Amino acid sequence: MTTAKTRLCCLIGDPIEHSLSPIMFTAAFSELKEDAVYLAFKVKKEDLKNAIDGLRAIGFLGCNVTMPHKIEVTKYLDKLEDTAKFVGSVNTIAERGGKLIGYNTDGKGVIASFENEGIEIHDKKVLIVGYGGAARSIAFEIVEKKPSEVIIAGRDASKAKMLVDLIKGRVNAYEILMGDLKKIGADIIINATPLGMRQRIEEIPIPEELLKKDVVVLDLVYDPIETKLLQLAKEKGCKIIDGLEPLVHQGAIAFKIWIGKDAPINIMRKAIREAIL
């Protein structure tokens, strides 16, 4: 039951109808008996500043940001934490003493997914396919785990190189065109592109030759849960992690930022898996 003391959390983006975040966070609030609600608001690009000003005016507990606002929203915040500053995009906002602080939890969600499966990144060769905001956040967090090298793959070599240039001072890194991926191998492969999502369900971002036994493959796409990439990887004997895991883990990190308590991650995972299956 909502009251005058109920706190507001929300998601802003366009579109937002597909989002699982309201299901995930509502389950978490219910489990911990938090007096809070989570709503999704469709916000057009031209209305973003007004939306942030509105949240600032009415007071809120926390906010998630999805496409296409992750980069633009940084202009309207008071401070960015380190990952968000490096990435140049925000997916989580919290209010602190009247100031709006921007965070990016995408990369931390991926790291938590690996740790939950007991997968070591240290001294491993990591391939990240993509160079957008999610890929940048992942790369920032991955290098902290000291892999042997990081490869950034994409269709635009100049954009891939921009990300490589940001991290190569901290790790051995280089870029490669997606068409040249057959020339390399990797211990860990991360798909940070939309290839394989329901609208592009037959597409896979890497050649099958890279899917060797015991390679770890994580796909950020979660609709469908088991993408064609993950299906092929499983057939080849790879260890697979679907896109719901980083979604749940980055959500749990946002929950901790807002509430100050550990999130009931098993409840969150159960809620979204039941909703999508």
Q: Please report, for the domain that includes residue 122, its CATH number.
A: 3.40.50.720
19 and 79 part of one domain: yes
Write down the pLDDT at residue 132.
86
119 with 180, same domain: the answer is yes
At residue 217 the predicted structure's pLDDT band, cuts being 50, 70 and 90, is very high
Instruction: Tell me: do 153 and 39 sit in the same domain.
Output: no
Domain that residue 157 falls in: 107-242
Are residues 137 and 238 located together in one domain of the fold? yes
Domain-located, residue 140: yes
Q: Does residue 86 sit in the same domain as residue 142?
A: no
The answer on 75 and 153 residing in a single domain is no
Percentage of residues in the chain with pLDDT exceeding 70? 100
Q: What is the DSSP-derived secondary structure letter of residue 6?
A: P
Confidence of residue 198 (pLDDT cuts 50, 70, 90): confident
Identify whether 2 is part of a domain: no
17 domain-assigned: yes
* Domain total of the chain: 2
Q: Is residue 52 part of a domain?
A: yes
Edge-to-edge order in the sheet of strand 79-80: 36-42, 7-13, 62-65, 92-96, 99-103, 79-80
Do 221 and 236 lie in a common domain? yes
| 258 vs 121: CA distance, rounded Å | 28
Q: Where in the sequence numbering do the catalytic residues fall?
A: 70
pLDDT category at 1 given cuts 50, 70, 90 is: confident
Residues 6+ apart with CB under 8 A from 213: 236, 237, 238
Q: What pLDDT is recorded for position 245?
A: 96
Taking the C-alpha atoms of residue 128 and residue 84, their distance in angstroms, rounded to an integer, is 18
Tell whether 183 and 95 lie within a shared domain.
no
Q: Is 182 exposed, middle or buried (0-12, 13-18, 19+ CB in 10 A)?
A: exposed
CB-based contacts of 91, cutoff 8 Å, min separation 6? 64, 65, 66, 70, 103, 104, 105, 106, 133, 250, 254
- Residue 122 resides in a domain: yes
Residue 136 maps to a domain: yes
84 CB-contact burial (10 Å; exposed 0-12 / middle 13-18 / buried 19+): buried
On whether both 235 and 263 belong to a single domain, the answer is no
Specify the DSSP class assigned to residue 261: S
**pLDDT digits 0-9 by tens, 132-181:** 888 999 999 999 999 999 999 999 999 999 999 999 889 999 999 998 99
DSSP conformational letter for 90: -
For residues 141 and 17, membership in a common domain is answered with: no
Same domain, 93 and 131: no
Residues 29-71: tens digit of each pLDDT: 999 999 999 999 999 999 999 999 999 999 899 999 998 899 9
Specify the CATH number for the domain of residue 96: 3.40.50.10860
1 occurs within a structural domain: no
> What letter would DSSP give residue 182?
G
Mean pLDDT over the full length of the chain: 94
Query: In this structure, are 123 and 227 located in the same domain?
Result: yes
129 domain-assigned: yes
